[in-house]
Amino acid sequence: MSLIEIKNLSVCYPSRRGVFKALQNVSLKVEAGEIHGLVGESGAGKSTIGSAIMGLLEHPGEISAGEINFCGQSIGALSDNALQQLRGSSIGMIFQDPLTSLNPLMSVGEQLIETICYHLKLSKSAAKDRALALFKEVEIPEPEVRIDQYPHQFSGGMRQRVVIALALCSEPKLLIADEPTTALDVSVQAQILDLIKRLVKKHQLGVILVTHDMGVIAQTTDKVTVLFRGKVVESGATGQLLAAPQHRYTQSLLSAVPRSDKKMSRFCQVSWIEGSQPLDNRAFAKDWQGENNLNLGSQVPMLEVKNLSLSFKAKASIFAKTPAPTKAVDDVSFSVNYGEVFGIVGESGSGKSPIPRLIPRLYNPDSGSICYRGESVVGKLPKQQLQSFRRRCQMIFQDPYSSINPRMRVRDIIAEPILLYGLNDRKGAYQRVDKLLDYLGLERAAALKYPHEFSGGQRQRISIARALATEPSLLICDEPTSALDVSIQAQILNILKDLQSELGLTMIFISHDLPVIRQMCDKVAVMKAGKIVELTESETLFTAAQHAYSQSLLRLMPNMHR
């Protein structure tokens, strides 16, 4: 008998526009001591399975068909009360964001003891003993001290440990982990995944691990089920499935995952997933007014950053001595040559995010210099010089949903910089917009639509079109794909690669994702705590990293291809 068996499960969300089928005929089995991965892109319905098992589907979702058997017992047949008993006592669940999963007003100990008392009917002191034991088990140091602390006193990784401890309170048999490490940095992620693996072994837990990350699947799970638009496309033992995917979707999905083991010229197109045109009008390059290929042999790098520092000051107050400012960027120097893709990689808080905003003068640095084509662009500049620098230096942002103004038509979004710099009149600008849309594989009709009518990938294309509108020579890409599904990511990265090769753009590419860096960049700077710890050719980094931190990052990186 399986620990849990799902048979032909269908979940639908009825709305006035019809019934949205979140899951259709999904079947899967999980055995004790097994980690079962659920993988898929957004909208695949992978999280819905967890909620359906827990009986926590959000209104108006409902199970329309199929059954879920837990230890041979049908969950659907249980009363609300019995289901509630089952939750927590036999099935535990952990969520994506440890920061918001804990009640901020109760100490973690109170939350643990409350749950233990409720399920195991222990006395307070016995519950506390058990809570301490759980803390030890999830490897929280100094459990006696920390148990009385409040959630805000824990770091992200520690909070996820607390969450796991809470989920394990009453020794459940099944643990549902919904993207448990997505909000965490690579190094913390590895620790948490290790912890889950150890707990599985020790307690013979069954785990359903929901994730979008193929690397996590490859390294953690025993079995994997691939979901696409609410349906199971393929299921099987992890190693086997990854090595020899049967279904076309799985194949293209896997091929879209950036490889960390070798650099490839282009990503495989995942044409199966979304109607995506490649850049089709190569004539665009001829039209390009940029000045990128000039100066190729010049001695002066295109962009030179020297001793750049930036600190964020805490809010001044009357009484507290103004706290020492935290150095976000600390004495950073690098240079970017013409036509080069320069990568910056680091974990959260490493200082990689302020840099793309320092260069186009969104922030002013505390000290240091930035020279574009040998001319300083820091400090007070004549308006004309600033405008011409801004025109040449454009940026692509992380979040395609917030990076374009939802209240403007696409045409106006793309034409805005053209009109702003007076590069063309309105009519000319609109013609230019049409060309850009052609070039980026969007229909011309898109010009009159508003952003909400587009998918994430299409929006990112619009964002790129806006950046290209002024014919920049330097393109700063700030995590341009980290909010996108892997298949879309491949498309966008391909576009960027094409741009780079066809238009000879110089790029600064910021990412936390090492494989992406390897695929995209010529040179890489690894950052930690505001400093660059290693700056080298990207191939060198991946084959022979020098700095211990770079090495550990590479080691901890979840890797599908290892």
Partner 1 sequence: MEHNNSHSQGVQQVPQMQKMTLIRKIADSDIFYSFCRSPLIVFAAVLCLSLVLSALFAPWLAPYDPFDQSSLSLWAANLAPLSTDDDGFFYLMGTDNQGRDILSAIMYGMRTSLIVGLAAVAFALVLGTSLGLVAAFFGGWVDSLLMRIADIQLSFPAILVALLIDGVAKAVLGSSQMESLAIYVLILAIGLSEWVQFARAVRAAALVEQRKEYVQAARIMGVPVPLIMLRHILPNVISPILVIATISIAVAIITEATLSFLGVGIPQTEPSLGTLIRVGGNYLMSGEWWITLFPGLTLVLLVLSFNLLGDWLRDALNPRLK
Partner 2 sequence: MLFQGAHLNNSLKPRLWNIPISALSSERVLKRWQGSGLGFVFVLNIVGAIGLAMYKFLLQRLVQGVLVMLVVAFVAFAIFHFLGDPVNNMVGESATDADREMVRLQLGLDEPIVVQYIKFVGNILQGDFGISYRTRTSVIEQMAARLPATIELSLVSGFFSILFGIPMGIYCALQPKSWLTRNFLVGSLVGISIPTFLSGLLLIYLFSVTLGWLPSQGRGGLISFGWWDTSLLTLKGWSYILMPALTLCIYQLTLITRMVRAEMLEVIRTDYIKFARARGLSNYIVQYRHALKNSLVPVVTIIGLQLGTVVAFSIITETVFNWPGLGQMFIQSIEFVDIPVMSAYLIFVGAFFVVLNLIVDLIYALVDPRLRAA
Enumerate binding residues for partner 2 (CB under 8 A): 54, 56, 84-89, 92-95, 97, 100-107, 114-115, 118-119, 148-150, 152, 163, 166-167, 169-170, 314-315, 317-321, 323-324
Q: Which does 119 bind (CB under 5 to 8 A by kind): partner 2, partner 1, none?
A: partner 2
323 binds, among partner 2, partner 1, none (CB under 5 to 8 A by kind): partner 2
How many CB atoms lie under 10 A from the CB of residue 225? 26
The structure tokens 């691990």 sit at 209
Three-class SS of residue 428?
helix
Beta-carbon contacts of residue 507 (< 8 Å; ≥ 6 apart): 340, 341, 342, 474, 475, 476, 477, 496, 500, 520
- Asked if 361 is part of the footprint of partner 1 (rule: CB under 8 A), the reply reads yes
**Radius of gyration, CA atoms only, the chain:** 26
Minimum CB distance to partner 1 smaller for 120 or for 408: 408
Residue 395 binding: pick among partner 1, partner 2, none (C-beta 5-8 Å cut-off by kind): partner 1
Total residues belonging to the chain: 562
User: DSSP state, 319?
Assistant: S
Chosen from partner 2, partner 1, none, partner binding at 16 (C-beta under 5 to 8 Å by type): partner 1
477 touches 510 (CB < 8 A) = yes
Q: Given the DSSP bridges, would you call strands 62-70 and 4-15 parallel, antiparallel or unpaired? A: antiparallel
Among 96, 221, 394, 506, binds partner 1 (CB under 8 A): 394
Q: How far is CA 34 from CA 1, 138, 181, 227, in A?
A: 14, 19, 19, 19
Query: Quick one: which segment of 396-404, 490-498, 528-536, 547-555 binds partner 1 (CB under 8 A)?
Result: 396-404
Q: Which of 159, 161, 466, 512 binds partner 1 (CB under 8 A)?
A: 466
User: Is the CB of residue 345 less than 8 Å from the CB of residue 258?
Assistant: no
Find the binder of partner 1 among 170, 225, 458, 491 (CB under 8 A): 458
User: Binding pattern to partner 1, positions 24-63, x when CB under 8 A?
Assistant: -------------------x--------------------
Tell me the closest approach of the beta carbon of residue 247 to partner 1, in angstroms: 20
* 182 close to 211: Cβ distance less than 8 angstroms: yes
Dihedral (C-alpha) 424, 429, 432, 436: value to the nearest 10 degrees? 120
Residue 403 as a binder of partner 1 (CB under 8 A): the answer is yes
Helix and strand totals (H; E) in the chain:
20, 20
CA–CA separation, 108 and 525 (whole Å): 39
Using the rule CB under 8 A, give the single segment among 57-65, 90-98, 438-446, 487-495 that binds partner 1: 438-446
Three-state DSSP class for 339? coil
- In the DSSP assignment, the letter for residue 444 is G
Q: In this structure, what token pair is assigned to residue 48?
A: 């819905």
Least Å from the CB of residue 179 to partner 2: 12
Cα separation, 176 vs 358, whole angstroms: 42
Q: Do residues 235 and 223 touch, judged by C-beta distance below 8 A?
A: yes
- Residue 420 lies near partner 1 (rule: CB under 8 A): yes
Q: Closer to partner 1 at the Cβ: 47 or 458?
A: 458
The listed partner (partner 2, partner 1, none) that binds 445, CB under 5 to 8 Å by sort, is partner 1
Report if residue 300 touches partner 1, rule: CB under 8 A. Answer: no
d(CA 204, CA 533): 42
Between CA 398 and CA 481 the distance in angstroms is: 6
Taking CB under 8 A as the rule, does residue 97 contact partner 1? no
> Minimum distance from CB of 217 to partner 1 (Å)?
23
Taking the complex as a whole, the smallest distance from the CB of residue 224 to partner 1 amounts, in Å, to 24
Please answer whether residues 183 and 172 qualify as being in contact, where contact means their C-beta atoms are separated by less than 8 angstroms: no
Q: Which does 384 bind (CB under 5 to 8 A by kind): partner 2, partner 1, none?
A: none
Position 341, amino acid = V
Lookup: tokens for 320: 């507290």
312 binds partner 1 (CB under 8 A): no
Of partner 1, partner 2, none, which one sits near residue 103, judging by CB under 5 to 8 A according to partner kind? partner 2
Candidates 20, 148, 296, 555: give the one binding partner 1 (CB under 8 A): 20
Q: Name the residue among 226, 259, 228, 263 with its Cα closest to residue 245.
A: 226
* Residue 397 binds partner 1, judged by CB under 8 A: yes
136, 198, 282, 407: residue in contact with partner 1 (rule CB under 8 A): 407
Instruction: Tell me the DSSP string of 295-318.
Output: TTT-SS-SEEEEEEEEEEPPPP-S
Using CB under 8 A, which of the segments 97-105, 192-200, 393-401, 488-496 binds partner 1?
A: 393-401
Q: Applying CB under 8 A, does 386 fall inside the site for partner 1?
A: yes
CB 208 within 8 A of CB 174: yes
Among 51, 64, 85, 387, binds partner 1 (CB under 8 A): 387
Q: Which is nearer to partner 1, 177 or 404 (CB)?
A: 404
Residue 403 near which of partner 2, partner 1, none (CB within 5-8 Å, type-dependent): partner 1
379's contact among partner 2, partner 1, none, with CB below 5 to 8 A by partner kind, is: none
CB contact set of 522 (below 8 Å; sequence gap of 6+): 340, 341, 342, 343, 537, 538
Contacts with partner 1 by CB under 8 A lie at: 16, 20, 43, 275, 357, 360-362, 386-387, 390, 393-395, 397-399, 402-408, 416-417, 420, 443-445, 448-449, 453-455, 458, 463, 466, 470
